Structure 1
Amino acid sequence: MKPVLSPQEAVELDRATQARGVTVDDLMERAGWAVARACADLIGGAYGRRAVVVCGKGNNGGDGFVTARHLARWGMRVVAIVLQDPARSRDPAAANLRRLAEAGVRVRRFDPAMLDRELDRADVAVDAIFGTGFRGEPEDDWAEAIEGLNAALVPVVAVDIPSGVDGTSAAVEGVAVRADLTVAFGAAKTGAVLLPGAEFAGDVRVVDIGFPDELIPTTVGLTEPGDVAAILPDRAIDAHKRASGTLVVVAGSRRMTGAVRLVARAAGRMGAGYVIVAVPRSILASVQTELTETVFVPLEETEEGTVAPAALDAVQTAVRDADALALGPGMTTNPDTRTFIRSLVRECAVPFVLDADGLNAFTGEADALSDRKGEAVLTPHLGEFSRLVGTPDGDRLAAARRLAARADAVALLKGSRTVVAAPDGAARINPTGSPVLATAGTGDVLTGTIGGLLARGVDPFAAAWSGAYLHGLAGIAAGRALAEGTVAGDVAERLPEAIQTTRGDAR
């Protein structure tokens, strides 16, 4: 796992490191050197090249001054362009501005035309305008400087986070620097990992500037292949089908027969050894023809062909000998079916994943989800999330944590950068995925992916973040082969490939 820090955590890390005797000047010197090194690496050397370093106020500007000094020392022709009156700079940034001038590096006050001229002949530019604590919309000279960097035909390296990106929520309210590379100090910041901020960050390179490892928070992290490979169960040489995990799938209705197929297929492709499908009687025959590897439980149904409350005993009997449950896709919002879902959630003693209409059964009542016996993973998309707890304010990490706390369950907020949160505040951000996943049924595949992991004994939090990772990787594989013709079933079929790729990448 790669740690991901909020701006507040980054400030606290600075303070804790300084309490151990490392000065702000020490940190700034190492940070500036690391950015300079990244610039030289990006363009294949420093000597004889040209660089423009655009510096704001505070420590971020100070990092830029140090970067400019090191680039000049390595033989680059450098101009540092400052947006704030140098007389207003305070130490340690002011001290590094003086050192820069003493080293003979050109320092110029910002002027749009001058910035454009310098960028026209530069080989690389550095964005040291705003730090991770920025919020809001850049204005006046600050906005013009960002627009100038974006118009330049040279690589741009951002210091810690692209200027104009909210360091907490990743929101971009006005203009923001579109960097080719972001050099992150100690750990990546949430604003450069979540969307839309991640689109502006380019590649993110984490560099060591002297923060003690034990001080770097690990509450939030970016999932890596090794994390997933470490929790994937190996099938024993003497395993039998139930030893590989038994999953009960309760899904589908007369109007939506496809959902249950996708959930069950994904669970099987994740290695669940025994998948039991419980569906309304009226769709049993049609589902049986396609799911030839599964066992079936016909359920009592409503006049609309949805699961009826009278089906509860049959499902509980099936779940009693199972390891996990997948519940919700394609079940509709029929009031009687809603009653069934709420009763099953309350009484189910095994871990379960709840999605789609399973979540809709608790519209406006997220707290009621905490009234249950088993551990739960909730997998809403933005619409389902909003129906549960209200529209989020744009901070996806905070939103997922809020739902996890209210429901006392693992919450997976689906999206281009899926976020998974545990009730204790721990969270993972998923780096995998593809635009081809924006098609009907892929959420059902995710439900089956997580359900399969739960059935194989993976704990709910790990099942959620590893399931999201593998689902995203399967989407990438499907998109590579089928492009925009990808459908949800293609993603399910590529889950074994995603598992093998992950194990290979972890070596």
Structure 2
Amino acid sequence: MRAAERELMARLPEGALMQRAAAGLAAACAELMGRVYGRRVVLLVGSGDNGGDALYAGARLARRGAGVTAVLLSPERTHPGGLAALRRAGGRALATRQKEDAAAVERAIRSADLVVDGIVGIGGKGGLRPDAAPLAELAEASRAAVVAVDLPSGVEADTGEVRGAAIRADLTVTFGTHKPGLLIDPAREYAGSVRLVDIGLSLPDEAEAEALQHADVAALLPVPGAESDKYRRGVVGIAAGSSRYPGAAVLAVAGALRGGAGAVRYVGPAGDAVIARFPETLVSDQGPKRAGRVQAWVVGPGAGDDAQSVAEVLAQDVPVLVDADGLRLADRDLVRARKAPTLMTPHAGEAAALLGVSRGSVEAARLHSVRELAERYGATVLLKGSTTLVASPGGGPVRVNATGTSWLATAGSGDVLSGLAGSLLAAGLSALDAGSVAAYLHGLAGRFAADGAPMGAHDVSESIRSAWRDVMS
């Protein structure tokens, strides 16, 4: 972003780029408020360009009749042009370092209709400074809507980490491109809704993160042709379930049947339960080695301590998805030695066990954790969570998926995801594409199934077809 901004600023009149950003920011603020005239707006202004953007946007709102107050954290380093523009438009300024202004600052924030966060830019690290943290608390406690400039102050743009106090925004107006911290938790939950404003930057093709959209997923979904049969469409093997967890097998098969493969072979002790629910399933009790030909395997959901099945599946030269108990039982050296693609699908607790760290460490640094796992195991890793991350070994952009809903935090939901992703592997998608497309469809299916109310994993599997149709429409 900095390089792109420098290149563009060299070709534009001085201040033109900031004016573009301020125009987009002011328009978003006006739209959020609905009416500008008579509204009370407070700008939290730091020393960087985000503070300048906020001041120029505040000047635009003041000219439309808003009462605008700028709270200056570093008065001596405040953007001079922006501050002058605000004052010419009738706005006022208060300084946090002046005792006589402290009470006025608090009153202004508590009575505001809108608070604009322009404290820290994309270079901020380690949370808000002590002088800024109380302002974040006041803004959160007030009745005002909070708009962040580019990203919420206190979150880390490159990683999505939050290492201290941070602004919680209702809306983030970001410029040029999305930053990883706007897509990846825990920072994502601080961003609220995100609105992208094009300010004319020429960005490089390389990206730290990618977020698929409907059109991307539609282009990847397998669609049978006139000459297709069940074997050409792909056969997925499911080695899952146990006497204690037969439902995991049923749910994994349910996800697989709706994932585009032509047939599903089930291997394990829950064959009767699977056949009773899905009579089209090909069932075997002879173990993965004797199950018949498949184009991909799913191993681990509800498998208990069946280490033999995990080892047999990993020894086969086809793509393999490893989930749940399979993650605990899989030998890392065996995974690294595989030639065919491997897709691992841990949640934060399972990822923590594999990395030898606490769950909190994984949740606080999700981007680092998924990349570290991918490198350690030489496998593609899908890290489940409120935003699902999919990383390939050897680097490259991390896929970020945010289509899900908190209602997906329900028993068996991950088993459905595993079956769905395994079916896409069998249909010929790469591990990266299979994982990210499955997460996208699974998230949409969860939204359709829940519709604002509790639901179960079987409801998610039933809604995959609706999600598929929605993507393809």
Deviates more, 1:178-187 or 1:126-135: 126-135
* Superposed displacement of residue 139, structure 1: 4.3
Q: What is the aligned partner in structure 1 of residue 303 from structure 2?
A: 331
Identity %: 39
TM (normalized to structure 1)?
A: 0.85
Deviates more, 1:24-33 or 1:122-131: 24-33
2:370 is aligned with 1:412: no
Deviates more, 1:70-79 or 1:462-471: 70-79
Task: Check conservation: 2:253, 2:274, Cα contact below 8 A.
Answer: no
Structure 2: which amino acid aligns with 1:149? A
Q: What is the aligned partner in structure 2 of residue 396 from structure 1?
A: 366
Q: What is the aligned partner in structure 1 of residue 246 from structure 2?
A: 257
Q: What is the aligned partner in structure 2 of residue 11 from structure 1?
A: 2
- Whole-Å separation in 2 of the counterparts to 1:476 and 1:395: 26
Structure 2: which amino acid aligns with 1:313? K
* Superposed displacement of residue 412, structure 1: 0.2
2:100 is aligned with 1:109: no
Q: Provide, for residues 393-413 of structure 1, a one-character-per-residue CA deviation record: whole Å limited to 9, x for no partner.
A: 521112111212222221100
| Equivalent of residue 226 in structure 1, options 212, 215, 226 | 215
* Superposed displacement of residue 368, structure 1: 4.3
What does 1:107-506 align with in structure 2 at a 5 Å threshold?
A: 107-110=93-96, 111-119=101-109, 122-212=112-202, 214-215=203-204, 217-280=206-269, 283-299=270-286, 311=287, 313-315=289-291, 318=292, 321-333=293-305, 337-345=306-314, 347-362=315-330, 366=332, 368-391=334-357, 392-393=361-362, 394-423=364-393, 424-480=395-451, 483-484=453-454, 486-504=455-473
Task: Tell me the secondary structure at the aligned position of residue 188 of structure 1.
Answer: coil
- Whole-Å separation in 2 of the counterparts to 1:179 and 1:122: 14
Task: Check conservation: 2:110, 2:139, Cα contact below 8 A.
Answer: no
Q: Provide, for residues 351-390 of structure 1, a one-character-per-residue CA deviation record: whole Å limited to 9, x for no partner.
A: 221111221123xx64542211211111011122122222
Task: Check conservation: 1:262, 1:445, Cα contact below 8 A.
Answer: yes
Q: Provide, for residues 270-300 of structure 1, a one-character-per-residue CA deviation record: whole Å limited to 9, x for no partner.
A: 23221111124xx43444333311111212x
- Whole-Å separation in 2 of the counterparts to 1:476 and 1:143: 35
* Superposed displacement of residue 447, structure 1: 0.5
Q: Provide, for residues 105-127 of structure 1, a one-character-per-residue CA deviation record: whole Å limited to 9, x for no partner.
A: 32221344212333455442211
Q: Provide, for residues 49-103 of structure 1, a one-character-per-residue CA deviation record: whole Å limited to 9, x for no partner.
A: 442212012222122222222223444332222111x2234xxx23433444455
* Superposed displacement of residue 253, structure 1: 2.3
What does 1:80-91 align with in structure 2 at a 5 Å threshold?
A: 80-84=70-74, 86-89=75-78
* Superposed displacement of residue 191, structure 1: 2.2
- Whole-Å separation in 1 of the counterparts to 2:355 and 2:13: 44
Task: Tell me the secondary structure at the aligned position of residue 242 of structure 1.
Answer: coil
CA shift in 2, pair 1:256/1:374, >3 Å: same
Deviates more, 1:377-386 or 1:116-125: 116-125
Task: Check conservation: 1:366, 1:403, Cα contact below 8 A.
Answer: no
- Whole-Å separation in 2 of the counterparts to 1:412 and 1:23: 45
- Whole-Å separation in 1 of the counterparts to 2:153 and 2:441: 32
* Superposed displacement of residue 46, structure 1: 3.4
- Whole-Å separation in 2 of the counterparts to 1:503 and 1:445: 21
CA shift in 2, pair 1:361/1:152, >3 Å: same
Task: Tell me the secondary structure at the aligned position of residue 131 of structure 2.
Answer: helix
- Whole-Å separation in 2 of the counterparts to 1:39 and 1:286: 55
Q: How many residues align?
A: 464
Task: Tell me the secondary structure at the aligned position of residue 289 of structure 1.
Answer: helix
- Whole-Å separation in 2 of the counterparts to 1:109 and 1:234: 62
Q: What is the aligned partner in structure 1 of residue 43 from structure 2?
A: 53
Q: What is the aligned partner in structure 2 of residue 36 from structure 1?
A: 26
Task: Check conservation: 2:185, 2:366, Cα contact below 8 A.
Answer: no
* Superposed displacement of residue 163, structure 1: 2.0
Over the residues paired in the alignment, what is the CA RMSD in angstroms? 2.4
CA shift in 2, pair 1:73/1:288, >3 Å: same
Task: Check conservation: 2:110, 2:138, Cα contact below 8 A.
Answer: no
Structure 2: which amino acid aligns with 1:96? G
Q: Provide, for residues 401-448 of structure 1, a one-character-per-residue CA deviation record: whole Å limited to 9, x for no partner.
A: 121222222110011111111223321111111222222211110110
**Which 5+ residue runs of structure 2 have no aligned equivalent?**
none
